[in-house]
Amino acid sequence: MVRIFAAIALILSLASCQTDSSGGGGEATVSTQNADDTRVAKYLFGAVTTPSPGSSAPYGFYSAGCQAGAQALPETGPTWQAMRLSRNRNWGQPVLVDYLQDLSAFAATQPGWAGLYVGDMSQPRGGPMASGHASHQIGLDADVWMLPPQRLNLTREERESISSIQTDRTDGAYTNSSWTPQHEAILREAASDPRVNRIFIFAGAKVEMCANATGDRSWLHKIRPWYGHNFHFHVRLNCPQGARYCEGQDPIPPGDGCADAQQWVNNILNPPPPDPNAEPVEPRGPVTMADLPGQCLDVLGSD
Ligand SMILES: [Zn+2]
């Protein structure tokens, strides 16, 4: 199962935020009721515009699952706005909606930040997406824009046309002049929350935060270098208490991960030769319903 998730993630690895889902682990919860269902899941989940009724639950893994009983992050709140409303991806498990509201309240205490602009969360019933993201499938992932919000009264149209800002240079090896102490404060707050499993960001940002962090450095553990993630950072929450069909991710290696991040940067600047023993990645079709937990068939069909 882990290998399958990893292969899916590798194949979908062309754009930012798409490979942030390899390394699955824990108990597989896939049932067999949909074992022969070859329908392409992203088209089915992408076509449903409302959440499933009933109680909230994540099913499966971040990159192979779905969500029941999702809540919407309100499009505008006192300290946030959801962006790109046309995508209808401002949906998540209640814990994610709560978390984002809390983090945005902290962000609003930072000079120059009215709060947060929140990017993609999940589709109303989660599942694979027709564009972008291998993960974001179970209502526990969210992208947060690097752009400091100057105001929180953007119209729908503005939320489609405004872009975030780039905060890296040299392919993620370093931060650029748009990176600020406020970004670091917000990421520190974001990672210090026990609801968070890990946060993905470009390697140069982690190295910068490792250099600047004072006092308690334990929060750096959850900040993980990854490809892309230079216009937004990606927050992944833990499976909520009692979510028995939610499949957690393998633990992060102990320590602050700063040496690992520096190695990422070194590899960006001086790419190592390809591994001659690497197994070739077998081409694979799109994720089908059979690749998802059996409960996702019910989630898709319930009204
Ligand atoms: Zn993401």
Is residue 9 scored above 70 in pLDDT? no
Is residue 41 scored above 80 in pLDDT? yes
How many angstroms separate the alpha carbon of residue 141 from the centre of ligand 1? 6
**CB of 41 closer than 8 Å to CB of 301:** no
How many angstroms separate the alpha carbon of residue 270 from the centre of ligand 1? 27
Mean pLDDT of 68-78: 98
At residue 32, the pLDDT reads 59
Mean pLDDT of 137-151: 98
pLDDT digits (tens, 9 = 90+) for 75-116: 999 999 999 999 999 999 999 999 999 999 999 999 999 999
At residue 260, the pLDDT reads 97
Mean pLDDT of 254-269: 97
Residues in the chain, overall count: 303
How many angstroms separate the alpha carbon of residue 277 from the centre of ligand 1? 30
How many angstroms separate the alpha carbon of residue 303 from the centre of ligand 1? 28
Q: 31: pLDDT confidence band, cut at 50, 70 and 90?
A: low
At residue 80, the pLDDT reads 98
Mean pLDDT of 112-132: 96
How many angstroms separate the alpha carbon of residue 52 from the centre of ligand 1? 23
How many angstroms separate the alpha carbon of residue 302 from the centre of ligand 1? 27
How many angstroms separate the alpha carbon of residue 212 from the centre of ligand 1? 25
Q: 279: pLDDT confidence band, cut at 50, 70 and 90?
A: confident
How many angstroms separate the alpha carbon of residue 259 from the centre of ligand 1? 24
User: Percentage of the chain with pLDDT > 90?
Assistant: 83
* Dihedral angle computed from the Cα positions of residues 87, 292, 285 and 51, in that order, rounded to the nearest 10 degrees: -20
How many angstroms separate the alpha carbon of residue 7 from the centre of ligand 1? 18
User: Percentage of the chain with pLDDT > 70?
Assistant: 89
Mean pLDDT of 204-223: 97
How many angstroms separate the alpha carbon of residue 63 from the centre of ligand 1? 11
Query: Taking all residues of the chain, what is their mean pLDDT, rounded to a whole number?
Result: 90
CATH topology of domain 2-301: Muramoyl-pentapeptide Carboxypeptidase; domain 2 (3.30.1380)
Cα distance between residue 191 and residue 256, in whole Å: 12
How many angstroms separate the alpha carbon of residue 276 from the centre of ligand 1? 31
Q: Which residues are CB-contacts of 68 (< 8 A; sequence separation ≥ 6)?
A: 51, 52, 54, 55, 56, 57, 58, 59, 125, 295, 298, 299, 302
How many angstroms separate the alpha carbon of residue 234 from the centre of ligand 1? 5
Boundaries of every domain in the chain? 2-301
* 164: its two tokens: 């975030």
Is residue 20 scored above 50 in pLDDT? no
Mean pLDDT of 187-205: 98
At residue 132, the pLDDT reads 84
Which SS3 state, helix, strand or coil, does residue 68 take?
strand
pTM as predicted? 0.89
How many angstroms separate the alpha carbon of residue 5 from the centre of ligand 1? 16
**CB of 60 closer than 8 Å to CB of 41:** no
At residue 2, the pLDDT reads 40
How many angstroms separate the alpha carbon of residue 171 from the centre of ligand 1? 18
